[in-house]
């Protein structure tokens, strides 16, 4: 009975934390909507500067990694430890690929003079500047969450290897998976807002 209460408490605590993260990004999305209403043409111009191919690849990478994280939890529950380890490693690889893509994408923007306080942003007008300010803030914050998610998955991986995460005790992996799904969900909103803006 005590263990069941502890497990429920951990789940509730994780959901409350995830809710606070949703509020954080939700506030940023509302801010985006307000400025998009004021500067629709500048936002559309800014969106054309972004690489839709890289954005699409990153979307697919995160969607696939969400599936493999969920599959790793199922593998643990079925006592297939080797399969769970492989799936978590694959998910971590997807997270790393996402960050590498984002690094090159940001690098290309910096090379074209599209970085905070650059002359080009000021020359293009306030809406264009605000678009990229929001782009760097939201994608940077999301990237930080990807790193945190990878740390949580890495800890879960170690616990699976050491036999601390089992079919009876998998709360750590489950909570790491929930966090990773949140990271994926946030990107599903980020992608169309910035890469597909018209």
Walk me through the domains of the chain, giving residue ranges and CATH numbers.
2-195 (1.20.120.80)
Find the mean pLDDT for residues 167-192. 94
Give the mean model confidence (pLDDT) for residues 129-135: 96
Mean pLDDT of the residues in the chain: 92
Give the whole-angstrom CA distance, residue 146 versus residue 96: 9
User: For residue 2, what pLDDT is reported?
Assistant: 37
Tell me the percentage of the chain whose pLDDT exceeds 90.
81
- In the predicted structure, residue 9 carries a pLDDT above the cut 70: no
pTM (two decimals): 0.91
Helices 2-38 and 126-161 cross at an angle (nearest 10°) of: 160
Lowest mean pLDDT among 30-34, 111-115, 141-145, 190-194: 111-115
Rounded-to-integer distance, Cα 42 and Cα 145, Å: 28
pLDDT grade for 122, boundaries at 50, 70 and 90: confident
pLDDT tens sequence across 39-83: 999 999 999 999 999 999 999 999 999 999 999 999 999 999 999
| Confidence (pLDDT) at 92 | 98
Contacts of 144 (CB under 8 A, 6+ apart): none
Mean pLDDT of 121-145: 94
Of the two residues 123 and 6, the one the predictor is more confident about is: 123
Position 198 scores a pLDDT of 76
Task: Name the residue with higher pLDDT: 66 or 167.
Answer: 66
Determine what percent of the chain is predicted with pLDDT higher than 70: 95
Alpha carbons within 13 angstroms on the beta-carbon side of residue 133 total: 16
User: Would you put residue 125 in left (φ > 0), alpha (ψ -120 to 50) or beta?
Assistant: left
Tell me the pLDDT band of 101, cut-offs 50, 70 and 90.
very high
In angstroms, the CA 1 to CA 21 distance is 31
Sequence-distant (6+) residues with CB within 8 A of 133 are: 116
pLDDT category of residue 4 using cuts at 50, 70 and 90: very low
- The pLDDT, as a whole number, for residue 125 is 84
């Amino acid at each position: 009975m005590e263990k069941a209460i502890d497990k429920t408490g951990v789940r509730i605590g994780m959901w409350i934390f995830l809710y606070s993260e949703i509020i954080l990004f939700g506030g940023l999305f509302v801010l985006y909507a307000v400025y998009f209403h004021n500067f629709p043409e500048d936002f559309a111009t800014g969106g054309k500067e972004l690489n839709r191919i890289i954005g699409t690849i990153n979307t697919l990478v995160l969607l696939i990694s969400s599936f493999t994280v969920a599959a790793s939890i199922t593998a643990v529950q079925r006592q297939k430890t080797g399969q769970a380890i492989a799936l978590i490693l694959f998910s971590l690889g997807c997270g790393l690929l996402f960050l590498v893509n984002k690094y090159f994408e940001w690098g290309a923007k910096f090379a074209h003079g599209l970085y905070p306080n650059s002359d080009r942003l000021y020359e293009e007008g306030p809406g264009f500047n605000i678009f990229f300010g929001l782009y760097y803030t939201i994608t940077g914050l999301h990237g930080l969450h990807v790193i945190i998610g990878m740390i949580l998955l890495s800890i879960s991986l170690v616990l699976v290897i050491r036999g601390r995460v089992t079919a009876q005790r998998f709360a750590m992996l489950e909570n790491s998976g929930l966090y990773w799904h949140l990271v994926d969900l946030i990107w599903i909103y980020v992608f169309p807002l910035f890469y597909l803006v018209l």
